[in-house]
Amino acid sequence: MTATVKMNSLQAVNAALTEAMEQDPKVLVLGEDVGDREGGGVTGATAGLSTRFGDQRVRTTPISEQAIIGAAIGAALGGYKPVAEIMLMNFTTVAMDMIFNHAAKLRFMSGGQSQVPITIRTLTGAGWQTAGQHADHLEGWFAHTAGIKVVAPSNPADYKGLLLSCIQDPDPCIFIESAGSLFTPAEVPINQGPIPIGKARIVQEGTDVTLVSWSSQAVRCQMALPALTEAGISVELIDLRTVSPWDKQTVLESAAKTGRVVIAHEAMRSFGPGAEIAATVNEELFGQLKAPVRRLGAPYSPVPFSKPLENAFLVSPDKVVATVKALMG
Amino acid sequence: MAELSNAPAPSPETLVDIYRRMIRIERNDDAIRKTIRLGRLQMPYYSARGQEVIPSTLSSLLTNDDKICTIYRGIHDMVAKDMPLRPLWAEIAGRVDGTCKGKGGPMHLTHPETGVMVTTGVVGSSMPIANGLAWAALLDGTKQVTIAYFGDGASNIGAFHESLNLASLWKLPVLFVCQNNGFAEHTRYENCTSVDFISKRAAGYGMPGFTVDGNDPWAMYAAASTAIARAREGEGPTLLECKTFRFLGHVFGDDDKYMTKEEKAAAIAKDPLPAFRARLIEEGLATEEQLAKLQADIEAEVADAMEFGLASPFPSVDELRRDVFAEEIAA
């Protein structure tokens, strides 16, 4: 048995950052409030780092998202591996020119001369009544950008292992820390190393329906499993873990086996990543499907404040159960 | 400008070197425009004719270890930085021997060997990235400086303000060099900028700011050497506003409807290139034969680079799968 330690996902992030900085002097951390003088970050994810590694490697920045990502890109071009924190995913909008036009494209536009091995950690997720500008799941935007990897873990071990991989990856990565998956502790192997980007995890094997999800929505899908088992439906739950590049092979193999696919994500359903996955499944497996591919996601609406609205906005475990049951007829 | 009065004067060799860079920019610009007109080159072109003094003077004080981040109107900055012309021409022609294998083109030329780190097509975006390169130099403990080139229009975009604040706060070894040519695309300076001198904005970020005649190599040298020395000594960033004029409008083919013929003619009459050449000879700093030879050598270099670039093959379409990530994307 591998020795484990119980931690939540924020603690896993802190552990990954600490380990990465310890192992590689080129790893830097920058962002708003990240230093210990400022409390080690608004969630405490970077607590202890500036004390341990010094305030030159762990730099608190002004509230200047373009300057943060620009500094990360430049330092990366200068040979470093910066981990930039954009406090909330909605605030990446302020830095989109740096992320979309520069970080993602410099390698290609320079014919491979420039590399931008930055990691952008960013927090999001509905369920905390933070309303329309603090909770969007924007992974689809970034997945629609060539040159950036989009990682969205759901549990502490994956948070640690995938963050370690993002930091060492030679390309820019967006690492999504979603509220619905941050605070539940779980056992993490004490020697949890890097987990490959682009590889899904089969949470539960099954034969009737393939359920594809990631990030906080994977947690809610997992919560739906007991009711589905009780209803006699054998669900194969795939936690994609990386939205781009996504693990087509695992999804298609599972879909070929079950013939039924439901994709669930917290992001808005319209033009969401689920559409890409559904389209791929249809293109590859049309004749083998027993039912149309179904997508679950947020309604076409900004994230609301009022609790009943927010509850309706999220894809609850009950909605997952109802959708899978309906698909089975 | 009091702080600039103690700046060293350029040596005769430096002045000739500045002139060499200027004539290399001008001859290269001339060849690009001729080649576009002949239909042998298809590219969006933002000529910097008239702005040669600024990067030529700055580059005379830099080494290949010093970095620049420039913009779509920045080929003069790269040529001044001694980027080799063969891969430059192959790149602007979209060919495989280009600095970027033809994948970036004229607005994204990159050549780390000569310190040309990023060329952006987005107004203002050279600045946040230059800060990061300067931060890396600071962490490395080198004396390397980074220059962010941009135009007057870029001083009104958020990236300028975020970058100056951060650079000053972190005392980064960076120069913010504004090539103020009087127009933001088609809009006249005073119709889009709230202050009469961009250099005044430096005070708001706690850094020195100077407005200099960007067409005067002596004035430019004083400002550039002061700002570079300050950066190398760890004293932090400087904002240089270098006043100049672009002779050929915003983009190749521009009809210049937004300015009068007289204004343009007056600016061209003050072309810094022939004026500087005449002064070098007048003051005995260079001979007519020396400068003629310099020009002939550069013309030969440009002609060779053009032929090389246009003869280079186009990249394979497989390049669409390469350099998106470090690892090639499967076909």
In angstroms, the separation between the Cα of residue A83 and the nearest Cα of chain B is 13
Q: Which domain holds residue A166?
A: 4-189
Residue with tokens 């127009």: B183
pLDDT tens profile A206-239: 999 999 999 999 999 999 999 999 999 999 999 9
**Bridge-partner residues for A211, per DSSP?**
A237, A262
Q: For residue B256, what pLDDT is reported?
A: 86
Given A134, A165, A189, which residue is the final one in a domain?
A: A189
Q: Are residues A99 and A218 in the same domain?
A: no
Concatenated DSSP letters of B155-202: GGSHHHHHHHHHHHHTT-SEEEEEEE-SEETTEEGGGT-SSS-GGGGG
How many Cβ atoms are within 10 Å of A256's Cβ, its own excluded? 14
- Enter the pTM of the model: 0.97
Residues of chain A with pLDDT under 50: none
Given A150, A165, A189, which residue is the final one in a domain?
A: A189
Q: What's the CATH number where A173 sits?
A: 3.40.50.970
In angstroms, the separation between the Cα of residue A134 and the nearest Cα of chain B is 22
If you measure CA to CA, which chain A residue comes closest to B157?
A: A66
Q: Distance between CA A74 and CA B132 in Å, rounded?
A: 4
Nearest to B104 among A70, A101, A110 (CB): A110
Q: Are residues A153 and A287 in the same domain?
A: no
Q: For residue B253, what pLDDT is reported?
A: 87
- Residue A60 in contact with residue B170, Cβ under 8 Å? no
Optimal mutation site among A65, A113, A145, interface B, most CBs of chain B within 10 A: A113
Q: Are residues A239 and A149 in the same domain?
A: no
pLDDT averages per 10-residue partition of chain B, 331 residues: 72 97 98 97 95 98 98 97 98 98 98 98 97 98 98 96 98 98 92 96 98 97 97 97 94 89 93 97 97 98 98 98 97 89
**Number of compact structural domains in chain A:** 2
3-state secondary structure of A28: strand
Q: Distance between CA A279 and CA A288 in Å, rounded?
A: 14
Q: Are residues A185 and A205 in the same domain?
A: no
* Domains with residue ranges and CATH for chain B: 8-303 (3.40.50.970)
Contact A112 B125 (CB under 8 A): no
- Taking only residues 18 to 77 of chain A, the set having a beta carbon closer than 8 angstroms to any beta carbon of chain B reads 28, 56-57, 59, 61-62, 64-67, 69-77
Q: Are residues A109 and A239 in the same domain?
A: no
Q: Distance between CA B326 and CA A186 in Å, rounded?
A: 34
Residue A326 burial (CB < 10 Å; 0-12/13-18/19+)?
Answer: exposed
Q: For residue B1, what pLDDT is reported?
A: 38
**Local structure of residue A60 (DSSP, 8 states):** E
Q: For residue B208, what pLDDT is reported?
A: 98
State yes or no: ipTM above 0.90: yes
Q: Are residues A139 and A45 in the same domain?
A: yes
Given A132, A158, A189, which residue is the final one in a domain?
A: A189
Q: For residue B3, what pLDDT is reported?
A: 64
